[in-house]
Amino acid sequence: MSDKTTIGVGMIGYAFMGRVHSQAWRSVGAFFDLPLAPRMAVLAGRSKERTEAAAAQLGWDAVETDWRRLVERDDVQIVDICTPGDSHAEIAVAALAAGKHVICEKPLANTVAEAEAMVRAAAAAPPGVKSMVAFNYRRVPAIALARRYVEEGRLGEIRHVRAQYLQDWIVDPEFPLVWRLQKDKAGAGALGDIGSHIVDAAEFVTGQHVVGVSGLTETFVKRRPLAGESAGLGASRAESTGEVTVDDAALFIGRMSGGALASFEATRFATGRKNAMRIEINGQDGSLAFDFEAMNELWFSQGGGGFERILVTEPDHPYAGAWWPPGHGLGYEHTFTHEIKDFLEAVATGADPVPSFADGLRVQRVLEAVERSAADGGRYTNVED
């Protein structure tokens, strides 16, 4: 029997992100020696029947059909927000005011104003209440190792950043109009959903911020069949159609705070690319390259030589030592386990978890600058502080 302090978790939303977060909450204590023992106390969703079925499948003890009741419960100390972006701000602000720790899926909000309200709520929360935005790719061991190499000075002065996130899941024009294709729910399309990841990854690995951008966006398929029953990223199709109100692809260049030039591409129309989240950093003395479709590998070049492949599964590599013997690779779900581990440690020790809501706000400001630039013919646009 564990003598660790138990901390109750309430999660809102049980679809794609809810499933991977549930996996993380279930597994984190089995692989990491944590100061707290999370209890999967409550799952919230709008449909009682569906929420009960999800809770039984995913391992949650109880259900609520109103997120406000979840926030009010005495057995919940952590609120995990896995809903579409249009509800992030309202839930997070209420939870923080109630003295609950908050972990919120990315992007932090649908607008800069909403993200600013969340940052203010985090600052005004009772002492010791922590908050974090869930940019899970920071917790890929190879990306964390890339960050370490940059911090150690192995690349020297950073000159170039290239980041891409390439998917193809809506190439079919008959793919239904799911919520991620509706601006009122998602805030933005590929730019916000996956572009936010590569902006955060670029800033995380380099330790620099994006300070200005010039961008283009495009919606290739303007109308789609309305969505029926949804499951994960997909849904059934109805006969009638509706307007796509977000971008399908975004392409932008930028400048980093340390002087590096950067390029970013986010698209859901790269036929054949399933989840190619890529980043390459070129420095004065060396380079790094990563592709999530080969997530256990980091490519490194130093001193003008060619790239060497590093299999990031050794015990001294970030996070990897908690799992399997060297050479036994990790997967997508492990990144969420790592972020939950880091969040719980911060809550227990009183440290400020990263990425913070302020980090999420900074990414939101980059996305907004790209949208303003694209609306103005690609004009170079400064990212607001």
Looking at every residue in the chain, the average pLDDT score rounds to: 96
Kindly state the average pLDDT of the residues 23-33.
Answer: 98
Looking at residue 59, its amino acid is G
pTM (2 decimals)? 0.96
Task: Calculate the CA dihedral of residues 373, 376, 378, 380 and round it to 10 degrees.
Answer: -60
131, 94 contact by CB (below 8 A): no
Structural tokens at position 346: 């911060």
State pLDDT tens for residues 338-357.
999 999 999 999 999 999 99
Work out the pLDDT band at 2, boundaries 50, 70, 90. Answer: low
Rounded Cα distance between 210 and 132, Å, is 20
Q: Is 109 left (phi over 0), alpha (psi -120 to 50) or beta?
A: beta
3-state class (DSSP) for residue 242:
strand
For position 3, what pLDDT does the model report? 74
- Written as one letter, the residue type at 149 is Y
Q: What does the pLDDT read at residue 230?
A: 63
Share of the chain above pLDDT 90, in %: 95
- The yes-or-no verdict on residue 305 having pLDDT over 90 is no
Q: How far apart are CA 93 and CA 99, in angstroms?
A: 10
Per-position DSSP letters for 6-66, written without gaps between them: EEEEEEE--SHHHHHHHHHHHHHHHHS--SEEEEEEEEE-S-HHHHHHHHHHHT-SEEESS
Convert the pLDDT of each residue in 65-107 to its tens digit. 999 999 999 999 999 999 999 999 999 999 999 999 999 999 9
